[in-house]
Amino acid sequence: MAEGQQDSATGVRKSFFLVKEEVSSDWKDLAFHLDFRRSDTDNIESRNRDDKSRCMDLLEEWLKRNGERATIEVLMEALSEAKLQSTVDSLRNKYPDVFRKAIKKYYELKLTYFKPLVWNDNFKLTLSDIFTQLELVSIKDKQQQMSGRYIWQVQKTKINSLDDLLNHTVTGQSTASRCILIEGEAGKGKTTFLSKEAIDAVSKKTELGRLYDIVLLIRLREVREDETLEEMVWDQCVPETIEGIDVTSIRTILQKNESRVLFLLDGYDELRPGARANRQAIPKLLDGKLYPNSAIVITSRPSAGVQQYIRPDSSAHIMGFSVAQVVEYIRQYFRSEKNSERGEQLLVQHFDITPHCHLPLEFIIPRWESRIVNDLIHTPIFLFLVCVLWQENRDMVATGTMTGLYENLLTCLVRKYCVREGVDMPTDGLPTDVADTLLQFGKVALEALRRNETLLDLTQVEREKVNSELLLKLGVVSLEVSASKLHPRKQLNFSHKTMQEFLAGRYIAHALVNRDPADVLQLTSISNALQLSNLLRFTCGCDTQAAQAVLNVLCNLRSKEFPHVHAGQFKTPVKQSMRSPEETYEAFIFLCLDLLDERKERDVLLAVSKALPVIFVDINRHSKPLDNLMYYLKNILSSESQDKVILIVGINDARQGLEQSLASYLHDPRLEVRVGITSFISPEATARLVLALKNVPGLRALSLRFTSQTLSTLQQLVQGFSHMSLLEELDLSTNSNLGDDGIEILQVGLSRIPHLAVLRLGGFGVGMTGVGMSSLASYMRHLAGLRELDISHNNIGDNGLEHLATTLHTLTAMQVLVLAWTGISATGMRKLVPALCQLTRMIKLDISCNMRIGDLGLECLVDILPHLTALKELKIRGTGITGRVISALVRALPHLVELQVLDVRDNNMGDSDILSMVQTLCNCNTTLEELYIGYYDGVTGDGWGNVAQLISALPALTRLEMSGSWDPPTPLPDTAAMTLAEALPRLPALEWLNLQNISMEPAGFQAVVQAAEEHPTLEELK
C-alpha cells in the first residue's frame, strides 16, 4: 500500500474501536449501507462468535475493499443512513483534538516563513523577525467643543501583544473582550502581526493560546459571497487531507466549543462588497448573530467602516516600528544580506549615530532633517523597501515620499529585468513594452480595487490581453495557486496591497490627462475617498495635473457633504459606533495634507486650500501629521492668494509643552484660531495657556468645557482677555465649581472681549443662581453681537430670568437661547416673552425640563411664535403643559415655516392632542427633520397607530421618537404596528427611530423590525 494510502487507512482505522463498541448488534444495518451483499454478511457472521467481532471484521473488510475511498466521511454517512446517529455524534465529538492538531500543523507549514520579495525566492523571513508596536486606544465619552464640534477623549497605552488586551489592568474593563479591533494604515504590518499571534496561540506560547482551544485565522480577502463561516474554516484553516473533518463536523465542533473559540479575521478592508452585506456570514459573526460566545480579533485599515457592524470592547492601533525597532530591523536585514557595513551607512545617514559606536538602542534618535525617518520607515513595508533600495542604490531613497519609493522600486525591478533579458534600459523612463504593459495592468489593478479584490484571476488578466509573463518576470506580482480549496484557481498576487494601489494610481494619473476626472476617479463620497486614500496619494504623487484634478473632485465632495463646515456645523451622528461627521472631516483634512506631501508644488497647495476652508487638529492625538500641517500653514500663509485660514486646535493634555505647541505656528494674524482644551487644567497649566494665547492674535474661540475650572484659574484666564480682543466664542460649560463668585470674576472680563458672539455656561452648569445671573446680565449689555447664550442647568429661577429679560431685548443679534433646567416658572416666562418677541432672528429656543412653566407660561410663548418666523428648533420637553396649550400651539405651527426640530416629549397629552399636532405638521411643514414625541401617560396604542398613519407625510424626517409611557409600557396593537411598518418605507431619509417603552405582539414586532432592517437609510432602532 502506498504511503498516502497507509496514512488514510490509519486515520479511518482509529475510529473502528468506537464504532464496534457502539454499533454492535446493528452491524448488519451498517453493512447494508456500506454496500455489502447478504452473502458477505453471512460469511462475516459465520467466522466470528459475537457481534462486536463481526462489526470489526466488517470494517476491516470495507477498508480492504475500498482503499483510499474508505474515508471517515463515507463511514459517517453510512452510519447516518443506518439510523445510527448517536455513533456519528460520538465520532464528531472525538474530533476537536484532531481538528486542533490539524490547525497547528497547517499554521506551522503556512505561516512560519514568508517571502516579502516576489522577485527573489531566496529571500525569506520568519515571523520572529517581525516587530510591531501596538497602541491601545480606549474611547471615553465625547465632549462638545466650540461651534458644536465633538471631540473624543482618548486614552492611549502602549502594548506589546494581544495578551495585553486581555489584561484587565491594561484595558480597565471588568469583563473579557468579545471583540478586539486592530487598525493600522497600509503596510503597518497587520497581516504579519495576526499571523504571528495565530501561530503563537496554537503553540500555547501566549495567554491567548491558553484561553482559547481553537484559534481560527481567516484571510477575509479569500472570502466569497454566500460562503458560510464553517466553509471558510475548512477552506483556510485545515489541510484538505485531514480525515474526519468536513464542514458539518466543523460546525459541530465550533458549536460545542463556542466559548473556547477565537476568530482572527484579517483585513476587513479587503472583504468583497458582496460578503459585507447584512445577512452574510462575516457581518453576522461581528454582530453576534453567529457564535456570540466566541471571541473575535479583526484587523482593518481605519477607513473601511467595520464599526457599522461592531462596537469593539477594545481597540488598538498598530503604530509600526519604534526608533529602536527600526535600527534593529535595518541591522538584521543587512546581516541576512551579508552586508552589515551597508546597513550601518544607512543608519549613520539618517540617525544620530557615530560610526562603529555601540550606542544602546533606546538612546538612538533620528536626525531631524531626515524625512525618510520621520515620515516613512516607521511603517514596516516602507522600511523594507528603503532597505531594498539602499542596497541597490543609495540615491533611490532620497525622495521621502510613498510614490517616490515605489517609482524607484519599479525602476529597480525593470533595470534588473533588462539586465537578465539583455534588453536596453532607456536613460529616461522605461522600455516601451514595459511601460505599456504596466499601464494596461494598472487599469486591471484599479478595476480590482473597486471590487475590493487584491488577488487577480490569471484567466481574467489574460482575457484583458495583459502580458502576465512580463509582469511575472518584472516581479511586480507572483503567480500562485489559490490557497482556497473551495475556489481553486491560478492567480496573480501583489507583494503588498500598496503595490496594487501604486500601479492603479499610475494608470489614473495617465488617464486624467485626456479624460474627465470625475469619470476616471468615480469617487462617490468622502468616505469612499478615505477608503482609497493610498490610491489617491499615488495618483497625486505621479503628476501635478493629476493632483490638481483629484483635489478639485475632493473639493466638490466636501462642498456637498460639509456645506457649513466654515461655521463648524456638523450633523449629529446617528450611531456612536459610526465615524462621526467631525471625525470624517478631520480624516479628510489629513488626506488632503498627505496628497500635498506627495506633490509639494504651488498649484497643488492652492488646490488643497480650496478643499479645506477649516482645519481641525488635535495636537496630542496627531503627532506625526503635524509636520504636513505646519508645511501647509507656512506656505499657504506666505502666499498672497489666501486672506485667512481657520484652524481649530484640540488639546487633551494641557499639562506640559502647551505654549510650544501653540506658539510654533499660531502667531500669524491671518490665522483664525479656535482652541479647545479637553481635560483637567491646573492653575500652572492655565498660566501657561494664557501666556501662549497672548501670542495668538487670531484667537476666535476658546473652549474650557469640563476642565474643572476654579476661581483662581478663571481669574488668570480673565486677566488674559485683554490679549484676546477678537474672541468670538467662549465655552465654560460644566464647570460647576465656579458658582456666583465665578460669574462675578467672569463679568469683569466681558468688557475686554467686545466681539463675543457665543457664550456657553451650560452643559451641566457652572453653579450660577439668580444672584449670578443678575450680575452677568448687567455686563451683557456690552455684547451687542451676542448670537448664542446657553445657561442650561443653572438654577437661576424666575428672579434670574427677570434680570436676563431686562437685557435680552437689547441683544437683537440673538439666534440661540438655551434655558433648559433653569428652574423657571410661568412667572418668569411672562417676563421673558416680551423680550423674546423682539428677537426676530431667533432660530433655536430651548426651555425644556422646567415643569413649573405649565400652561400659563407656555401660552405666553405660543402667542408670540407667529413673530418668530425664522425659528428652526423649538424644544419644550417636560414643561408641564396639557392639551389646552397644545391646541394653541397647533394654531401657531403653520407660521413656523422654517421649523426643522420639534421636541414636545414628557408632557400631559392625550390621543387627540398628539393627533392634532402631527396632523397640522403634516399639512403645513415640509422641512421638519427631527420630531420628538412620547412619554405621555395619556396616549394609547391606538393613538400611536393614528400617528403612524399620518407620519409618512413628513418625508424630510431623519429622527423620530414615539416613546410610550414610563410605567407601564404602552401596548401597541398589531394593526398599529403594521401601520407603522408600512409607513417606514415612505420616510426615505429616516436614520433613527426610538420606540422605547412600547410593547408589541410578536407579529407586529416582527413587521416593524423587518421594515427597519430593509430601510435603506435607517441606522438605529431603539
Q: Which of 23-32, 361-370, 469-478, 859-868 has the highest mean pLDDT?
A: 859-868
pLDDT at 421: 87
Q: What is the mean pLDDT of residues 205-223?
A: 88
Buried b / exposed e over 285-306, threshold 16 CB at 10 Å, is bbeeebbeebbbbbbbbbbbbb
Q: If DSSP codes are grouped into helix, strand and coil, which group holds residue 678?
A: coil
Pick the more confident residue, 480 or 1012.
1012
Q: What is the mean pLDDT of residues 82-97?
A: 78
CB 893 within 8 A of CB 920: yes
How many CB atoms are located within 10 Å of the residue 717 CB?
Answer: 24
Q: In Å, what is the CA distance from 82 to each residue of 43, 66, 95, 457, 674?
A: 21, 19, 21, 44, 78
Strand partners, 733: none
The torsion angles phi and psi of 781, rounded to 5 degrees, stand at -60, -20
The torsion angles phi and psi of 205, rounded to 5 degrees, stand at -90, -15
Residue tagged 462575516 (cell numbers): 282
pLDDT at 423: 87
Report if pTM > 0.75.
no
pLDDT at 842: 93
How far is Cα 131 from Cα 79, in angstroms, rounded to an integer? 50
The torsion angles phi and psi of 933, rounded to 5 degrees, stand at -130, 145
Pick the more confident residue, 634 or 749.
749
pLDDT at 484: 65
Which CATH code, of 3.90.1150.10, 1.20.210.10, 3.80.10.10, 3.40.50.720, is assigned to 732-896?
3.80.10.10
pLDDT at 663: 57
| 353 has pLDDT over 60 | yes
How far is Cα 749 from Cα 738, in angstroms, rounded to an integer? 15
pLDDT band at 154 (very low <50, low <70, confident <90, very high): very low
pLDDT at 330: 82
Supply the DSSP symbol for 599: S
Which CATH code, of 1.20.1730.10, 3.40.630.30, 3.80.10.10, 1.20.1740.10, is assigned to 909-1022?
3.80.10.10
Supply the DSSP symbol for 769: -
Average pLDDT, the chain: 82
Alpha helices in 612-738 (DSSP H): 626-638, 658-663, 683-693, 711-720
pLDDT band at 117 (very low <50, low <70, confident <90, very high): low
Q: In Å, what is the CA distance from 190 to each residue of 196, 820, 862?
A: 10, 48, 60
pLDDT at 574: 44
How far is Cα 192 from Cα 199, in angstroms, rounded to an integer? 11
Q: What is the mean pLDDT of residues 561-590?
A: 69
Task: Quote the distance between the C-alpha of residue 28 and its chain's center.
Answer: 60
Task: Quote the distance between the C-alpha of residue 40 and its chain's center.
Answer: 65
Cα Rg for the chain, rounded, in angstroms?
34
Q: What is the mean pLDDT of residues 269-291?
A: 88
Supply the DSSP symbol for 727: -
pLDDT at 696: 84
Supply the DSSP symbol for 571: P
CATH topology identical between 101-320 and 732-896? no
- The CATH code belonging to domain 3-94 is 1.10.533.10
pLDDT band at 849 (very low <50, low <70, confident <90, very high): very high
- Taking only the tens place, the pLDDT of each residue in 427-440 is 888 999 999 999 99
| 576 has pLDDT over 50 | no
Of residues 781, 730, 723, 777, the one with CA closest to residue 751? 781
pLDDT at 577: 45
Q: What is the mean pLDDT of residues 377-401?
A: 75
- Least-confidence region, from 153-162, 419-428, 440-449, 901-910: 153-162
Q: Which of 232-246, 414-428, 867-881 has the highest mean pLDDT?
A: 867-881
Pick the more confident residue, 130 or 843.
843
Between the CA atoms of 627, 630, 631 and 635, what dihedral angle is there, to the nearest 10 degrees? 180
- Least-confidence region, from 12-21, 117-126, 820-829: 117-126
Please report, as a single letter, which amino acid is at residue 807: T
- Least-confidence region, from 416-430, 680-694, 969-983: 680-694
Which CATH code, of 3.30.1360.120, 3.30.1490.100, 3.40.228.10, 3.40.50.300, is assigned to 101-320?
3.40.50.300
- Taking only the tens place, the pLDDT of each residue in 805-844 is 999 988 999 999 999 999 999 999 999 999 999 999 999 9
- Least-confidence region, from 140-149, 171-180, 766-775: 140-149
pLDDT at 729: 92
- Least-confidence region, from 123-132, 519-528, 781-790, 971-980: 123-132
As given in the structure block, the three cell numbers for residue 523 are 469617487
- Least-confidence region, from 178-182, 335-339, 455-459: 335-339
pLDDT band at 566 (very low <50, low <70, confident <90, very high): low
Domain boundaries, the chain: 3-94, 101-320, 322-377+379-430, 444-510, 512-642, 732-896, 909-1022
| 260 has pLDDT over 80 | yes
Q: What is the mean pLDDT of residues 790-794?
A: 96
Of residues 387, 348, 320, the one with CA closest to residue 123? 387
How far is Cα 412 from Cα 475, in angstroms, rounded to an integer? 10
pLDDT at 943: 85
| 402 has pLDDT over 90 | no
% of the chain at pLDDT higher than 90: 27
- Taking only the tens place, the pLDDT of each residue in 294-332 is 999 999 887 666 766 677 877 888 777 777 777 877 888
Q: At what angle do helices 626-638 and 602-611 cross, to 10 degrees?
A: 100
Task: Report the sign of the C-alpha dihedral through residues 332, 336, 341, 343, in that order.
Answer: negative
Alpha helices in 769-821 (DSSP H): 770-779, 797-808
Q: What is the mean pLDDT of residues 494-498?
A: 80
Task: Quote the distance between the C-alpha of residue 248 and its chain's center.
Answer: 34
Q: Which of 13-27, 98-112, 355-369, 874-888 has the highest mean pLDDT?
A: 874-888
- Taking only the tens place, the pLDDT of each residue in 194-213 is 888 888 888 888 888 888 88
Of residues 289, 111, 74, 92, the one with CA closest to residue 199? 111
pLDDT at 371: 58
Q: In Å, what is the CA distance from 568 to each residue of 564, 582, 637, 674, 983?
A: 7, 9, 21, 10, 34
Q: What is the mean pLDDT of residues 595-616?
A: 90
| 238 has pLDDT over 50 | yes
DSSP per-residue codes, 43-66: HHHHT-SSHHHHHHHHHHHHHHHH
Q: If DSSP codes are grouped into helix, strand and coil, which group holds residue 113?
A: strand
| 19 has pLDDT over 60 | yes
How far is Cα 654 from Cα 152, in angstroms, rounded to an integer? 16
Listed in sequence order, the residues at least 6 apart from 952 whose beta carbon sits closer than 8 Å to its beta carbon are 983, 986, 987
Task: Quote the distance between the C-alpha of residue 706 and its chain's center.
Answer: 26
Pick the more confident residue, 662 or 687.
687
- Taking only the tens place, the pLDDT of each residue in 552-562 is 999 999 999 88
Pick the more confident residue, 41 or 71.
41
How far is Cα 511 from Cα 507, in angstroms, rounded to an integer? 6
Q: What is the mean pLDDT of residues 902-929?
A: 88
- 143-144 and 154-159 beta bridge pairing: unpaired
Query: In terms of residues, how long is the chain?
Result: 1022
